[in-house]
Structure 1
Amino acid sequence: MIIRTNSVEETIELGEKIGLSLKVGDVVTLNGDLGAGKTHFTKGIAKGLDVDDYVTSPTFTIVNEYSGRIPLYHFDVYRIEDIYEMYEIGFEEYLYGQGVCIIEWSEVVKELLPKNTIDIVIKRIDENTRDIEIKSDREFCIK
């Protein structure tokens, strides 16, 4: 399914709708070029999970943790050079823990991800427009 958003606000709103449907143990991958809107989409997911904190990209910290109705673990693995670095930060504990994981640049750790991962690809069309492709066996109420 591909959904077009025409503003940052619409991208966040779509993320929120996805976030409302997520449950403990869900893993969401976000892929797209730099500036595609992955962090804005994550802000929406966080909103759907009732996270009150300000959401930022964990580019230099690898993972940010947020409290909400379900804990949110937001990964940015862009700077990971070796997949074993993920084991060092306790990735499996997050992945199979009591929260939702969002993983930006997930291609780097693809072999570590569960089969039922929700894959989302964001393509920047122009300054405001994004095509957001959701690949999942699950249905989401996003109308």
Structure 2
Amino acid sequence: MNISYSQPLADEQATCRFGAQLVNLIYPFTHEHGVVIYLNGELGAGKTTLSRGMIQGLGYQGNVKSPTYTLVETYHVAERDIYHFDLYRLNDPEELEFMGIRDYFSAQAICLIEWAEKGEGVLNSADLFVNIDYDNDTRRIELSANSTLGAEIITQLQQHPITL
């Protein structure tokens, strides 16, 4: 699948706004099935910031923190479960089996997964790959489809570009 979308992000606020608009574009697709998003980028690139924007974009009012030490944080908002995973400290993908990882990938769930490569072989496939890279003093975000659902989401994004 070779469909993608790319956009610069000027700062942390732009990253949060992008996340909020993106999740509202994704939300209608979650009425029938869950969405799995792999978040890629170096440490400090903005993966958790994007996740915070997405979670708060659906109306969550509380603190959104990195699940670096807990592996997963759960949010129930807008009649959806959002699971934010950070697998940076994962030593072995089998640890995910012990925590019941498969239960998280349910219909109507949105799974945001940082450092997904550490769970290779155990995690569900991504619908979208989100790459955040440094671009001098700013960031660039690129979304790539990895499923028919991912392609549908990016098509919607291309038809309704995110304005920051």
- TM-score, normalising length: structure 2: 0.79
Q: 1:106 to 1:7 in 2, by over 3 A?
A: same
**CA distance in structure 2 between the partners assigned to 1:5 and 1:44 by the alignment:** 13
**SS of residue matched to 1:71:** strand
**CA distance in structure 2 between the partners assigned to 1:67 and 1:96 by the alignment:** 13
CA RMSD of aligned residues (A): 1.6
Which one of the candidate residues 100, 103, 120 is aligned to 1:93? 103
Provide the residue aligned with 2:148 in structure 1: none
Which one of the candidate residues 55, 58, 67 is aligned to 2:76? 67
Q: What is the percentage of aligned positions where both structures have the same residue?
A: 32
Q: Deviations over 1:61-95 (max 9, x none)?
A: 00001121112110000111111111111111001
**CA distance in structure 2 between the partners assigned to 1:112 and 1:21 by the alignment:** 28
Larger Rg: 2
Does the CA-based 8 Å contact 1:37-1:122 persist in structure 2? yes
Which one of the candidate residues 67, 70, 75 is aligned to 1:58? 67
**Structure 1 counterpart of 2:52, one-letter code:** K
Provide the residue aligned with 1:21 in structure 2: 25
Structure 1 or 2: more helix by fraction = 2
Provide the residue aligned with 1:32 in structure 2: 41
Provide the residue aligned with 1:132 in structure 2: 141
**Structure 2 counterpart of 1:64, one-letter code:** E
**CA distance in structure 2 between the partners assigned to 1:11 and 1:84 by the alignment:** 32
Deviates more, 1:102-111 or 1:1-10: 102-111
Task: Give 1:97 shift.
Answer: 4.9
Task: Give 1:111 shift.
Answer: 3.0
**SS of residue matched to 2:90:** coil
**Structure 1 counterpart of 2:113, one-letter code:** I
Q: 1:112 to 1:18 in 2, by over 3 A?
A: farther
Task: Give 1:115 shift.
Answer: 4.2
Q: 1:21 to 1:111 in 2, by over 3 A?
A: farther
**SS of residue matched to 2:133:** strand
**CA distance in structure 2 between the partners assigned to 1:20 and 1:110 by the alignment:** 28
- TM-score, normalising length: structure 1: 0.90
Deviates more, 1:91-100 or 1:52-61: 91-100
Does the CA-based 8 Å contact 1:52-1:68 persist in structure 2? no
